[in-house]
Amino acid sequence: MILHLAAFTWKDDVTADDIAELTSQLRDMAAQIPELQSYHCGPNLRVRPSPADYGVAAMVEDARALEAYLDAPAHAAVYERLLGRMIADRVAVQLELGADAGP
């Protein structure tokens, strides 16, 4: 299994309505991509200090499934409609999850 994590920092003009619309569109998108084993997205709770405003966690079976998710037309459409204009900064990591991955 692979866990793909993305964290976004928004441009100054991003509104609460933009974020709510993005969250709705991302959840709708996830429902259309069968390679996703699990998908979570939302505003940073800021339990600890972080510059990130928003996060996405997507779990997939393998690298092929990750590529299918990232290259899916539904994923590209959300980026084109909304996400692309909102991002000031983005970081992403992929973690391998398995029997030896720890607790």
User: Does 100 have pLDDT greater than 60?
Assistant: yes
Q: Write the pLDDT tens digit of every residue in 22-71.
A: 999 999 999 999 999 999 999 999 999 999 999 999 999 999 999 999 99
Query: What's this model's pTM, rounded to 2 decimal places?
Result: 0.90
Write out the E strands in 14-86: 36-43, 54-60
Domains of the chain: 2-96 (3.30.70.100)
Q: Give the Cα separation of 85 and 79 in Å (integer).
A: 8
In order of 9, 16, 87, the CA distances from 54 in angstroms are: 7, 12, 10
What kind and span of H or E run contains 27? helix 16-31
